[in-house]
Amino acid sequence: MVKLEEQKHKTQDKFIEKLPPSSKVYIPLSQHLGEACASLVSPNDAVLLGEKIASIQVHVSAPIHSSVSGKVLAIQEAPHPVLGRAKAIVIENNGQDKSPSHQVTKSPEDAEKITPEQIRNIVFEAGIVGMGGASFPTHIKLNPPKPVDTLIINGAECEPYLTGDYRLMVEKTKEIILGAELVARCLGVKNIYLAIEDNKPEAIKNFNYELRFTSYELRILKSQYPQGGEKQLIKNIVNKEVPSGKLPFELGVVVHNVATVYAIYEAVYLAKPLYERVVTVTGSCLSQPKNLLVRIGSPIKELIAYCGPLKEEPAKIIVGGPMMGIAQYTDEVPVIKSTTGIILMNEREARIQEEEFCIRCGACVRECPAGLMPCLINLAAEKEIWAQAKTYGVMDCIECGLCSYVCPANRNLVQSIKRAKLECAE
Ligand code: SF4
Ligand code: SF4
């Protein structure tokens, strides 16, 4: 793990602000790991805020809800921050934010009575997926095939520009604990850890206070990258190594991100489906970087305009963190459930440099947290020898981006490794 130059100071002390809802939202049918959803609406249909507009077709999936009330304009191909282009439901916002009338909030006493099965069902119906970027459907993680005894709530947020999870932990401490209790009830676990990096003092202070009468253990971790990776957290907190090809539940551990846990709280207590999320909008090109609460489907150009004006033209726009995020070809892409950040980088930050030949320095091998040899996988990928890439363990890559970051020859290692993973998965 390495200590990266951080840019969290730009937004870490900014309260979460609500972005005014867009006049038109583009809600992709694919926002999670697994197959795309099927639309339940057609052009000209009226929809309400929080209404289910797309349902699952296979088990590994999560339904999708409207983030505004208004009228469906079209179901069409549109820019997508992860897939390039994908089908989206386009909705014109009527500005009324009208919700279905059956949505009722729960008191803590009511919430205490609901069963694990009911919680899983609410989480499924609310369309919740892993919000730290992985976007795996949460209801599946709440029902592991084997009993588990340990829950880790991941508040590490190790990406060097992002502060959305930090602000949630500062501003919604009690709600995150209520959400964690629901998760713990579903899993039937005894050991509950909350993992936070030591660069988040206010969140640590709040949780220290709120957890004083509970059995939760607050674990303060060194701020280094990729501390928040699932496998790294499990190793650092319970000293267990997840073997190649295995999942954490097989070792009795489940990890959930703090934003996901907060969404679970909202679904159960407030009867609110996942139709908005906190996004860090930052980078040196912006005059007013912020943390925004944003409706799903809002084009990122609106977030950028809200945090502007631009101080300089961006050399690169990234959706996600600078290490694991994806560079975009257009600012028309919408915010989706897994969008943690939008970063507008200038030339210096973007480090756009010519790729050179590998000098066999070994830096990528030394830094890879998955114990891989990225230089060799890169060679195999360039020659399209996918079987060899698989032998080198490409499927264990966590796509942390460290190999590219440390490479003195500016090799595009992660891109080629991501491609090799896709090829090998097929
Ligand atoms: S090979 Fe994968 S896990 Fe290893 S450093 Fe590169 S991106 Fe990270
Ligand atoms: S860090 Fe770059 S130059 Fe060094 S071995 Fe890896 S790929 Fe080659």
- Convert the pLDDT of each residue in 379-414 to its tens digit: 999 999 999 999 999 999 999 999 999 999 999 999
Give, for ligand 2, the residue of 372, 407, 410 to mutate: max count of ligand atoms closer than 8 Å to Cβ.
407
| Residue 103 pLDDT grade (very low, low, confident, very high; cuts 50, 70, 90) | low
Is the CB of 327 within 6 Å of ligand 2? no
* Nearest CA among 293, 328, 335 for reference residue 27: 335
Q: What pLDDT does residue 107 have? A: 78
pTM (global) more than 0.85: yes
Nearest-atom number in ligand 1 for the CA of 404 is 6
Nearest-atom number in ligand 1 for the CA of 414 is 7
Q: Is the pLDDT of residue 422 over 90?
A: no
Is the CB of 389 within 6 Å of ligand 2? no
Query: Torsions phi, psi of 71, nearest 5?
Result: -125, 135
Give, for ligand 2, the residue of 354, 358, 397, 402 to mutate: max count of ligand atoms closer than 8 Å to Cβ.
358
Could you report the per-residue pLDDT of 320-365, keeping only the tens digit for each? 999 999 999 999 999 999 999 999 999 888 877 899 999 999 999 9
Find the 377 Cα to ligand 2 centroid distance in Å.
Answer: 11
Nearest-atom number in ligand 1 for the CA of 367 is 5
Find the 301 Cα to ligand 1 centroid distance in Å.
Answer: 30
Cβ-based neighbours of 367, under 8 Å, separated by 6 or more: 2, 402, 403, 405, 406
Could you report the per-residue pLDDT of 205-233, keeping only the tens digit for each? 999 999 999 999 999 999 999 999 999 99
- The order of strands in the sheet holding 276-282 is 17-18, 290-295, 276-282, 341-345, 316-319, 326-327
**pLDDT, average across residues 44-66:** 92
For ligand 2, atom 4, name the residue with the nearest CA.
Answer: 361
Domains of the chain: 8-101+273-348 (3.10.20.600), 108-270 (3.40.50.11540), 363-425 (no CATH)
